């Protein structure tokens, strides 16, 4: 837009970082606020799980399926563990694992994506072909095989999911980077004689962050859905570790029993709800973020 | 022609009073237009002129009762032919738009929908409004194409936007605007994106068609010489306020306000040429091509004297930017050699050593794309320092401060991001970045063409001062003759990859010229309302004569 | 099941078949101390239970894979077992509801030469589904299928005691390496259906032309197997349904839902977690049978520290079996006593002293072994039996009190039986159990047993085992078996946590007699034994 | 050569290459899996002799490379080989026979779902873009989000509970066979289809919306408005044609998912699809079957993406009519 008065620019120029964040937040819609608050709560729960949770993660503290009450807020699960505590620890494990996985997949996929976008040529071809192949193999089944090969430890789970996810990240990073690598400042850096490392991490990456961060949010959610499905197929996170996905899978048989036999919400609904709410929250924030970074302004 | 026009003055068509418009950024509202009055009679052409940010486009759109997303009209009245556009509902406005008020956007390339054929888009409104059935509409459109001197008017409409040149698109868009014979057309910088030679044709076409249908128009531009050709009256805007308003001739002959006077100061800026034989960089018989098929550079030979400025002039596609890429080594030449300080320069970038890289620096046309939006000024200017000279920490910051000072910017800017600077400031930063390397040569690729004229002048003077201080040589790539006059010692005229003419400024700018140089020079708009008329007449005569 | 009860049941069955009058039954009932009202209600109920013809039985089984094949040598589990054997085929003998072996294709069988020679006399008028009569040659061919160099049969090792088998008129004669009084049990195995012999001497296992109560209509491996009534089945009082369909439903929730939505009438392997809720469903009966199957942890007694019997005993005393049964298996099963022979098996005893949780005894035995604390690795995976991991974790807790530190290692499920079982020193294992003491012991505890997963070689035990085989005097055999079980209990390398129950559920309108315990699904022969009451 | 044709050929070439890589990857991971076919089949019952016998029969006693080369050789001759299961008998189970019915079922379900899901999500997406930030938009957004956010099997069980157990409107068992007639098949596959629909509609609808909204900022949309084109028409006539490329990509991705990603749903509803087959075959190490499944999956994926590319070309004049 040619219509932007110098004053306007001045104001923006004089604004401190903190103030601008404050302004940005103040302009955030309700959904974004909701999202951020929820995420914050989850993170707190995850970080301080041992202090918040009334009982231990795998501690058997009562009879099976006790209804919620002062003693057990959400009741107990199939072998008498406190559901509430398991949920809290679940937050820790689920979010922790999902976060590590996503982080790893972005470290690998992102770097490679930008690198290939810069270098092109045979490197690009080679990597792209392999990535295509990996994309063409059904994630679940492939994960199943790899887990069988390397054993179902949490570490392996993270590594394998990260590997499989990184292919998708690679695709995105490469696509977005292609728009950035043609920018003059990248050429300027090349002219200066900068090394690949600098160009990737200082010149290109910072400029493709918005779409990557968005994708990060979504991938993050998909990770624990994938874990849920894996647990359902019998190879996810192994008991007694509390993880929402596995928790839903563990007590899946309860879902289809008439609720009247439960005067309370059946056990699997809590973790499922936990997942749903977090995903919705993240997506709200992501949507808002997208909206801010995209040129589009809504009619005011 | 103008004299005829005096007669057809009718009643007032558009009446704007006390218009105030605000723009929103990050949830805060800032004034953009601060109370502008404006009135326009039938068949009259009003020129809105001002720098970017003067609010001229905003006013232009407001004249349609439209405010862009993120803008809002807060006060004032807009009466179009008696209809209060501020009070009018979306539906009422929609029926006016396209049929009675039409808009011609700055970049036709972007404003045409890539997915539809030109003809379909041209007749869209006419057909929807039921002004005429499609058959008639198409026929009419073809007629308009013809009047606008579009090549093969019968068929050009069948093409998709990306298949025709920018100048043709701009005219097609004018045809689109004309399709319903509106009472008012808003031209929003319609020729800014065009080459000078193309601009002449487009200007002529638009002027004639407006006259023929005796349509009122608001012509928005930052180029006085251009508006002088189009408008009956000119209104100068600054920071959302009217500076002065007067009939074109008056405005040109005796502008009242100082600001208006400064607007064409740049035209007056002229550096005495001084030739030298101490060649720091010489390009010899260089060929270059991208795909390997088409020669973008064809046997180009250019010499750049130390401490002097060589201007490379040409239209887009003349290969002048390619020359820069060849010299910087991004595009290795397919033939010929480049001598730098007498020694042959390695063809490819990665074969050159750090010091050579340091000695040849480049400044790009658009500071927006040449400054990394995620790096602060400190990093942008500081990087070459630590990269080439290994200056670190406090020492580096001190040097950055000095550089900022040398480009006449306060060191308080050191922690700003490029996005927080004005166009001119950004360009200064890129200059500072180049200087930081203490180069022998700076290649300036259209460095001023994206800037307002006043800012252009500032930048050019800065460059010249720096040249005096550091004895750096400029290879100055531009399409703007005025700039060339201002800064060059020698001039190289390029056309379709070949060097048409080169030599000292005085020699190149003064007749006799080779044909192309002639065309180029003559196409540069002059501060004379009759320039376009006369030029066309001359050319017609020339054709007739030939 | 006490004696009178059995007598009454028998009488009832007679009565409803009209062999004795209602009065006679009532008198009998009163005589055995049952009130008149009770007797009457028993009679009416029994009458309602009277088998009725008709209907299509649909069964959901938690096994079945696309790799299942008609080859009985490779029947891996309940799906193939129940469908392709129990429904489609018969073996020479079968195990009845009380765990006794009775003739099936064979009308009778007798041993001679100290049970080294066995003669099976074939039943008259038994025909294959294509109408051809079953001959001794068919029987020989069918059993040969599991023997010989190239046999891929899982039953191969069961039959390696056979020296020769030959057809002799309407009898089949077996020569064994040593005496085996339980040989008739062996040939009741579900891997050994009788199949028609081909001209080339080999047996036709592919076509599914067998002798069973139902003919094979369609077999879609891993999905479904459907059968229709065999009109000229030679057992008059078996095979009531018009058609039987088996669905492979691996997901327990899906299985349960199918039962609740009435799309199947019978499901095996119920989900213990939700059993109470299932029971609360008015149209569904949950039935629980303690079978021969048992969940055990086995140690390699040839390796330190397990080579010391005191260490073994200390370990056996260090686990609270009741707690495991309660917490992990939610009470479904019978705690074990380090004796692999299920209580329901003939000659089973309960060796004393029972190995129940006792930290003091455990410590005491450790001391005897010259240790005051003990640490060892325990390799487990739910592939051995579901709950193996949780049980191990619980055990770890129990053992702490005994100065025993168990280091539980979770092994991958895939390939557990190849890479862990019989390889690691202390592992989780599962035996689906065998109908006889001899069979069980021969398979897993005899010195030369193919699957001796404790590597336990006890001379006395082995000589008893051999002796008992050829011993035809029931009393003497009982004594021998009792001693063997005692020895194994005291000295062996197995920690038997519990005998698992087959927990299965079915629609209320299914009728049946006493349910066999040797396999799931009424000894895998549910299709020919059960019926619709309405 | 015409750009469309060129792209198609080029992609097909790459596709074949990809398929090759896939087969190598799969084969390698199968080789790495602990245990072999015999052990998997015999389980606890495996003895060295029987395992040896099995391997002799299947030819597993030969080195992996040899087996792979042989296998791929047969593939090029269009022979997918025989399942390891029941190799001994006179009736061998050819992989094609094994897969054909399953593949039919899978495609049946996929197509059945797509036919409803694709138009539905397009309409929902366009409406959401039209009335963005309206209540409709917000509601559709949240609902779709929650469906994305819930594990598939959870949705599946819920549907099962409400529509098969509480109210016996549908079957909870979707077991079908080649004897099931068309209508019956549709009826049986209804619940799985709905489940999948809930999952993919969300993705596609959101992408449609995003793709459209991205374009609203472009100058030609403003131009359309200033030409007096009504908002609805502007979005459908001016935005949509330029949004096909991203939409097509995401649709292709989801359709691929319908074929390759439904194993969970198949398990829950006991639907004899190809996903189940592959999982089974993996756990029983039935190499020829696993490979065949993998190739089919990969091929589907590649084909659909190719389709998406073609769509984005033909809807983009720049590519369709180069200067």
Helices C474-491 and C437-444, axial angle in degrees (round to 10) = 40
**Percent of chain C residues past pLDDT 70, beyond the cut:** 94
In this structure, is residue A299 part of a structural domain? Answer: no
Phi, psi of B267 (to 5 degrees): -65, -30
- Interface residue D190 vs chain C (CB under 8 A): no
- More reliable by pLDDT, C11 or A190: A190
> How far is the alpha carbon of C255 from chain A, nearest alpha carbon, in Å?
10
In this structure, is residue A228 part of a structural domain? Answer: yes
Contacting chains of D (3 CB pairs or more, <8 Å) are: A, B, C
Out of A217-231, B88-102, B484-498, C27-41, pick the least confident: C27-41
- Interface residue A187 vs chain B (CB under 8 A): yes
Three state DSSP letters for chain D: CCHHHHHHHHHHHHHHHHHHHHHHHHHHHHHHCCCCHHHHHHHHHCCHHHHHHHHHHHCCCCCHHHHHHHHHHHHHCCCCCECCCCCCCCCCCEHHHHHHHHHHHHHHHHHHHHHHHHHHHHHHHHHHHHCCCCHHHHHHHHHHHHHHHCCHHHHHHHHHHHHHHHCCCCCCCCCCCCCCCHHHHHHHCHHHHHHHHHHHHHHHHHHHHHHHHHHHCCHHHHHHHHCCCCHHHHHHHHHHHHHHHHHHHHHHHHHHHHHHCCHHHHHHHCCCCHHHHHHHHHHCCCHHHHHHHHHHHHHHHHHHHHHHHHHHHHCCHHHHCCC
The residue written with tokens 């080459």 in the block is B195
Size of interface C-D (CB pairs under 8 A): 147
CB-CB under 8 Å, A261 with C256: no
Minimal Cβ distance to D145: which of A133, A139, A280: A280
pLDDT digits (tens, 9 = 90+) for B151-203: 888 888 898 988 888 888 888 998 999 888 899 999 988 887 778 888 888 88
In this structure, is residue A271 part of a structural domain? Answer: yes
Which of chain B's residues have a Cβ under 8 Å away from the Cβ of A193? 349, 352, 354, 357, 387
CB-CB under 8 Å, B24 with A5: no
Q: Which sequence spans correspond to the domains of chain D?
A: 105-274
> How far is the alpha carbon of B72 from chain D, nearest alpha carbon, in Å?
16
The answer to whether chain D touches chain A by having 3 or more C-beta pairs less than 8 angstroms apart is yes
The answer for D 242-271 residues in CB contact with A (under 8 A) is 260-261, 263-264, 267
Minimal Cβ distance to A145: which of D17, D165, D282: D282
Considering only CA atoms, which of C223, B509, B29 is closest in space to residue A4?
Answer: B29
pLDDT digits (tens, 9 = 90+) for B523-534: 888 888 888 888
Minimal Cβ distance to D226: which of B66, B113, B128: B66
The answer to whether chain C touches chain B by having 3 or more C-beta pairs less than 8 angstroms apart is no
Q: Are strands C243-248 and C56-61 parallel, antiparallel or unpaired?
A: parallel
Which of chain A's residues have a Cβ under 8 Å away from the Cβ of C274? 253-254, 257
CB-CB under 8 Å, A185 with B53: no
> How far is the alpha carbon of C299 from chain D, nearest alpha carbon, in Å?
17
Contacting chains of C (3 CB pairs or more, <8 Å) are: A, D
The answer to whether chain A touches chain B by having 3 or more C-beta pairs less than 8 angstroms apart is yes
pLDDT digits (tens, 9 = 90+) for A163-184: 999 998 998 888 888 888 888 8
Which of D99, D100, D172 is the best residue to mutate to test the C interface, defined by the most C CB atoms within 10 Å of its own CB?
D172
In this structure, is residue A11 part of a structural domain? Answer: no
The CATH code belonging to domain D105-274 is 1.10.3720.10
Which of chain C's residues have a Cβ under 8 Å away from the Cβ of D160? 257
The CATH code belonging to domain B279-510 is 3.40.50.300
Minimal Cβ distance to D297: which of A134, A136, A149: A136
> How far is the alpha carbon of B125 from chain D, nearest alpha carbon, in Å?
6
Annotate C184-229 with DSSP letters as a single string: HHHTTSTT----PBPTTSSB--SS----SSEEEEEEETTTEEEEEE
Minimal Cβ distance to B354: which of A7, A12, A193: A193
SS3 B187: strand
Nearest C-alpha in A relative to C279: A261
- Interface residue D184 vs chain B (CB under 8 A): no
In this structure, is residue A224 part of a structural domain? Answer: yes
Which of D35, D139, D151, D264 is the best residue to mutate to test the A interface, defined by the most A CB atoms within 10 Å of its own CB?
D151
Domain total in chain A: 1
In this structure, is residue A177 part of a structural domain? Answer: yes
In this structure, is residue A159 part of a structural domain? Answer: yes
Nearest C-alpha in B relative to D318: B162
Reported pTM: 0.83
- Interface residue D138 vs chain A (CB under 8 A): yes
Task: Give the whole-angstrom CA distance, residue C131 versus residue C19.
Answer: 32
Mean pLDDT score across all residues of chain D = 86
Interface of C with A (CB under 8 A): 252-253, 256-257, 260, 271, 273-274, 277, 280, 327-328, 330, 389-390, 393, 410, 412-414
Instruction: Tell me the longest C-alpha to C-alpha distance in chain D.
Output: 84
Q: Are strands B45-49 and B309-313 parallel, antiparallel or unpaired?
A: unpaired
Contacting chains of A (3 CB pairs or more, <8 Å) are: B, C, D
CB-CB under 8 Å, C273 with A78: yes
Host H or E run for residue C492: none
Q: What ipTM describes this predicted complex? A: 0.80
Cα pseudo-dihedral A162, A164, A165, A168, rounded to 10 = 150
Question: What are the CA-CA distances from residue B267 to residues B261, B468, B486 (Å)?
Answer: 11, 22, 8
> How far is the alpha carbon of C208 from chain D, nearest alpha carbon, in Å?
12
| Within this chain, domains B10-268 and B279-510 share the same CATH topology | yes
CB-CB under 8 Å, B53 with A300: no
Q: Which sequence spans correspond to the domains of chain B?
A: 10-268, 279-510
**Cβ neighbours, 10 Å, residue A24:** 15
SS3 B345: coil
Nearest C-alpha in C relative to A145: C414
CB-CB under 8 Å, B421 with A13: yes
The CATH architecture one would assign to domain B10-268 is: 3-Layer(aba) Sandwich (3.40)
Minimal Cβ distance to D223: which of B69, B94, B111: B111
Domain residue limits at A56: 51-293
Interface of B with D (CB under 8 A): 61, 64, 66, 68-69, 94-99, 102-103, 105, 107, 110-116, 124-125, 128-129, 160, 162-163, 176
In this structure, is residue A117 part of a structural domain? Answer: yes
Nearest C-alpha in A relative to D142: A280
Task: Give the whole-angstrom CA distance, residue C520 versus residue B487.
Answer: 99
Which of chain D's residues have a Cβ under 8 Å away from the Cβ of C257? 157, 160-161, 164-165, 172
Mean pLDDT score across all residues of chain C = 87
- pLDDT bin (cut points 50, 70, 90) of residue A9 is very low
Per-residue pLDDT tens digits of chain B, which is 546 residues long: 343 444 345 688 999 999 999 887 766 788 889 889 998 998 899 999 888 778 888 899 999 989 888 888 988 999 998 888 888 888 888 888 988 999 998 888 888 998 899 999 999 988 888 878 899 999 999 999 988 888 888 888 898 988 888 888 888 998 999 888 899 999 988 887 778 888 888 888 888 888 888 899 999 988 888 888 889 999 999 888 899 999 988 888 888 888 888 776 656 677 788 878 888 999 999 998 877 677 888 889 999 999 899 999 988 778 888 899 899 988 888 889 999 988 888 888 888 888 899 999 999 988 888 898 888 888 999 999 999 988 888 889 889 998 998 888 888 888 888 888 888 888 899 999 999 999 999 999 888 877 877 788 888 889 998 998 889 999 999 888 888 888 889 999 998 888 988 889 888 888 788 888 888 888 888 888 888 888 888 888 876 654
């Amino acid at each position: 837009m040619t219509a932007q008065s110098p004053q306007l620019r001045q104001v923006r120029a004089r604004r401190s970082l903190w103030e601008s964040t404050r302004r940005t937040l103040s302009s955030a819609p309700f959904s974004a606020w909701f999202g951020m608050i929820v995420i914050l709560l989850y993170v707190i729960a995850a970080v301080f799980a041992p202090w918040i949770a009334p009982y231990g993660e795998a501690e058997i503290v009562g009879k099976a399926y006790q209804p919620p009450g002062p003693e057990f807020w959400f009741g107990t699960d199939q072998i008498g563990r406190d559901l509430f505590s398991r949920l809290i620890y679940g937050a820790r494990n689920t979010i922790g694992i999902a976060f590590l996985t996503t982080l790893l997949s972005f470290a690998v996929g992102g770097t490679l994506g930008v690198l290939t976008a810069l270098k092109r040529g045979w490197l690009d071809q080679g990597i792209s072909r392999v990535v295509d192949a990996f994309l063409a193999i059904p994630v679940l089944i492939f994960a199943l095989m790899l887990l069988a090969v390397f054993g179902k430890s949490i570490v392996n789970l993270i590594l394998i999911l990260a590997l499989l996810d990184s292919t998708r990240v690679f695709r995105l990073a490469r696509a977005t980077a292609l728009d950035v690598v043609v920018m003059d400042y990248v050429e300027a850096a090349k002219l200066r004689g900068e090394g690949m490392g600098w160009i990737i991490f200082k010149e290109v990456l910072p400029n493709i962050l918005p779409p990557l961060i968005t994708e990060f949010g979504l991938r993050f959610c998909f990770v624990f859905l994938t874990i849920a499905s894996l647990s359902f197929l019998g190879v996810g996170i192994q008991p007694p570790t509390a993880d929402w996905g596995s928790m839903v899978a563990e007590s899946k048989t309860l879902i289809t029993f008439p609720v009247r036999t439960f005067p309370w919400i059946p056990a699997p609904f809590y973790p499922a709800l936990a997942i749903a709410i977090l995903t919705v929250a993240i997506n709200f924030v992501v949507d808002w973020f997208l909206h801010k970074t995209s040129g589009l302004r809504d009619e005011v | 022609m103008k004299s005829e026009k005096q007669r057809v003055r009718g009643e007032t068509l558009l009446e704007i009073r006390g218009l105030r418009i605000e723009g929103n950024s990050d949830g805060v509202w800032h004034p953009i237009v601060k109370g502008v009055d404006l009135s326009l009679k039938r068949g009259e052409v009003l020129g809105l002129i001002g720098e970017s940010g003067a609010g001229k486009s905003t006013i232009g759109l407001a004249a349609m009762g439209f405010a862009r997303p993120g803008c809002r009209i807060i006060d004032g009245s807009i009466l179009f032919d008696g209809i209060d556009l501020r009070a009018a509902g979306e539906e009422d406005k929609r029926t006016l738009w396209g049929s009675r008020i039409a808009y011609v956007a700055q970049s036709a390339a972007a404003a045409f929908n890539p997915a539809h054929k030109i003809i379909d888009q041209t007749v869209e409104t006419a057909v929807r409004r039921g002004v005429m059935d499609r058959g008639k509409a198409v026929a009419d459109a073809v007629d308009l194409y013809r009047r606008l001197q579009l090549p093969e008017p019968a068929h050009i409409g069948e093409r998709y936007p990306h298949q025709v040149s920018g100048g043709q698109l701009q005219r097609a868009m004018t045809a689109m605007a004309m399709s319903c014979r509106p009472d008012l057309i808003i031209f929003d910088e319609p020729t800014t994106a065009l080459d000078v030679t193309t601009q002449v044709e487009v200007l002529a076409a638009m002027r004639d068609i407006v006259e023929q249908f005796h349509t009122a128009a608001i012509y928005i531009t930052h180029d006085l010489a251009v508006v002088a050709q189009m408008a009956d009256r000119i209104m100068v805007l600054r920071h959302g306020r009217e500076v002065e308003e007067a009939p074109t001739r008056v405005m040109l002959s005796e502008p009242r306000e100082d600001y208006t006077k400064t607007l064409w100061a740049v035209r007056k800026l002229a550096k005495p040429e001084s030739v030298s034989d101490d060649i720091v960089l010489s390009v010899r018989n260089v060929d270059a091509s991208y795909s390997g098929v088409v020669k973008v550079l064809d046997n180009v030979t250019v010499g750049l004297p130390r401490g002097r400025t060589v201007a490379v002039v040409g239209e887009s596609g003349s290969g002048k930017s390619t020359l820069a890429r060849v010299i910087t080594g991004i595009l290795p030449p397919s033939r010929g050699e480049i001598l730098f300080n007498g020694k042959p320069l390695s063809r490819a970038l990665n074969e050159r050593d750090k010091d050579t890289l340091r000695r040849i620096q480049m400044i790009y046309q658009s500071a927006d794309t040449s400054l990394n939006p995620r790096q602060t000024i400190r990093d942008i200017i500081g990087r070459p320092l630590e990269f080439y000279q290994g200056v670190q920490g406090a020492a580096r910051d001190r040097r950055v401060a000095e550089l900022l000072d040398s480009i006449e910017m306060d060191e308080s800017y050191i922690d700003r991001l490029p996005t927080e600077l004005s166009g001119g400031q950004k360009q200064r930063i890129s200059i500072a970045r180049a200087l930081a390397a203490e180069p022998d040569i700076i290649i300036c690729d259209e460095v001023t063409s994206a800037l307002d004229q006043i800012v252009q002048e500032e930048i050019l003077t800065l460059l010249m001062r720096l040249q005096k201080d550091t004895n750096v040589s400029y290879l100055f790539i531009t399409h703007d003759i005025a700039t060339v006059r201002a800064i060059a010692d020698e001039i190289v005229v390029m056309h379709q990859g070949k060097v048409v003419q080169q030599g000292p400024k005085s020699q190149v700018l003064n007749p006799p010229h080779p044909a192309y140089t002639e065309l180029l020079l003559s196409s540069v708009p002059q501060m004379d309302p009759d320039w376009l008329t006369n030029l066309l007449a001359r050319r017609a005569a020339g054709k007739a004569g030939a | 099941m006490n004696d009178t009860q059995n007598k009454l049941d028998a009488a009832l069955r007679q009565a409803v078949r009209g062999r004795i009058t209602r009065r006679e039954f009532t008198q009998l009932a009163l005589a055995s101390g049952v009130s008149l009202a009770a007797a009457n209600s028993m009679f009416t109920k029994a009458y309602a239970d009277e088998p009725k013809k008709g209907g299509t039985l649909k069964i959901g089984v938690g096994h079945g894979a696309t790799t299942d094949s008609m080859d009985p040598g490779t029947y891996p589990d309940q799906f193939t077992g129940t469908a392709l054997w129990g429904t489609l085929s018969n073996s020479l003998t079968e195990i009845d509801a009380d765990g006794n072996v009775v003739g099936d294709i064979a009308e009778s069988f007798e041993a001679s030469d100290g049970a080294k020679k066995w003669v099976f006399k074939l039943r008259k008028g038994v025909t294959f589904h294509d109408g051809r009569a079953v001959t001794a040659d068919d029987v020989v061919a069918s059993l040969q299928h599991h023997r010989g160099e190239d046999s891929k049969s899982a039953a191969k090792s069961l039959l390696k005691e056979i020296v020769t088998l030959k057809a002799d008129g309407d009898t089949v004669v077996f020569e064994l390496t040593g005496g085996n009084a339980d040989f008739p049990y062996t040939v009741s195995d579900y891997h050994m259906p009788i199949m028609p012999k081909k001209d080339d001497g080999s047996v036709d296992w592919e076509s599914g032309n067998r002798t069973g109560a139902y003919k094979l209509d369609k077999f879609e491996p891993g999905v479904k197997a459907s059968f229709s009534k065999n009109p000229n089945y030679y057992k008059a009082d078996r095979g009531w349904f018009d058609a039987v369909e088996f669905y492979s439903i691996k997901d327990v929730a899906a299985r349960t839902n199918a039962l609740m939505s009435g799309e199947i009438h019978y499901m095996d392997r119920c989900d213990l977690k939700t059993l109470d809720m299932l029971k609360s469903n008015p149209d569904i009966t949950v039935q629980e049978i303690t079978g021969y199957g048992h969940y055990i942890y086995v140690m390699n007694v040839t390796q330190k520290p397990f080579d010391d019997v005191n260490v073994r005993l200390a370990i056996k005393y260090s686990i609270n079996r009741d707690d495991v049964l309660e917490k992990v298996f939610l009470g479904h099963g019978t705690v074990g006593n380090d004796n692999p022979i299920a209580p329901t098996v003939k000659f089973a005893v309960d060796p004393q002293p029972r190995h129940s949780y006792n930290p003091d005894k455990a410590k005491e035995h450790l001391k005897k072994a010259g240790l005051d604390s003990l640490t060892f690795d325990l390799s487990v995976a739910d592939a051995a039996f579901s709950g193996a991991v949780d049980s191990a974790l619980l055990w770890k807790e129990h053992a702490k009190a005994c100065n025993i530190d168990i280091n539980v290692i979770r092994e991958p499920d895939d390939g557990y039986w190849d890479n862990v079982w019989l390889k690691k020193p202390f592992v989780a294992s599962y035996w689906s159990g065998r109908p006889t003491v001899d069979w069980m012991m021969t398979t897993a505890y005899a010195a030369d047993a193919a699957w001796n997963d404790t590597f336990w070689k006890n001379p006395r035990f082995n000589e008893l085992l051999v002796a008992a085989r050829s011993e035809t005097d029931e009393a003497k055999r009982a004594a021998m078996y009792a001693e063997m079980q005692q020895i194994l209990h005291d000295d062996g390398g197995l920690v038997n946590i519990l005998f698992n129950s087959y927990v299965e559920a079915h629609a209320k309108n299914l009728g049946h007699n006493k349910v066999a315990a040797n396999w799931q699904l009424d000894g895998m022969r549910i299709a020919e034994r059960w019926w619709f009451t309405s | 050569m015409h750009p469309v044709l060129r792209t198609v050929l080029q992609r097909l070439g790459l596709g074949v290459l990809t398929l090759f890589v896939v087969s190598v990857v799969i084969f390698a991971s199968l080789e790495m899996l602990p245990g072999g076919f015999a052990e998997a089949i015999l389980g606890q019952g495996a003895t060295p002799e029987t395992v040896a016998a099995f391997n002799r029969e299947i030819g597993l006693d030969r080195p992996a490379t040899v087996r792979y080369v042989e296998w791929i050789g047969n593939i090029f001759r269009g022979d997918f080989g025989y399942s390891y299961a029941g190799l001994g008998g006179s009736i061998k189970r050819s992989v094609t026979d094994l897969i054909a019915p399953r593949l039919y079922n899978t495609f049946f379900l996929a197509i059945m779902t797509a036919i409803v899901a694709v138009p539905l999500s397009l309409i929902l997406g366009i409406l959401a873009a039209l009335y963005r930030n309206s209540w409709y938009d917000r509601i559709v957004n949240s609902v779709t989000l929650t469906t994305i956010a819930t594990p598939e099997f959870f949705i599946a069980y819920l549907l099962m509970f409400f529509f098969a157990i509480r109210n016996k409107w549908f079957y909870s068992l979707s077991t079908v066979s080649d004897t099931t007639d068309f209508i019956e098949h549709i009826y049986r596959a209804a619940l799985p289809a709905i489940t999948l629909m809930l999952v993919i509609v969300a993705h596609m609808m959101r992408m449609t919306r995003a793709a459209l909204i991205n374009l609203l900022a472009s100058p030609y949309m403003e131009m359309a408005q200033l030409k007096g084109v009504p908002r609805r028409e502007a979005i459908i006539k001016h935005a949509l044609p330029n949004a096909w490329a991203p939409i097509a990509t995401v649709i292709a991705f989801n359709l691929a998912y319908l074929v390759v990603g439904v194993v969970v749903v198949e398990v829950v509803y006991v639907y004899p699809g190809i996903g189940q087959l592959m999982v089974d075959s993996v756990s029983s190490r039935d190499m020829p079957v696993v490979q065949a499944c993998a190739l089919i999956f990969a091929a589907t994926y590649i084909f659909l993406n190719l389709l998406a590319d073609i769509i984005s070309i033909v809807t983009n004049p720049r590519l369709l009519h180069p200067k």
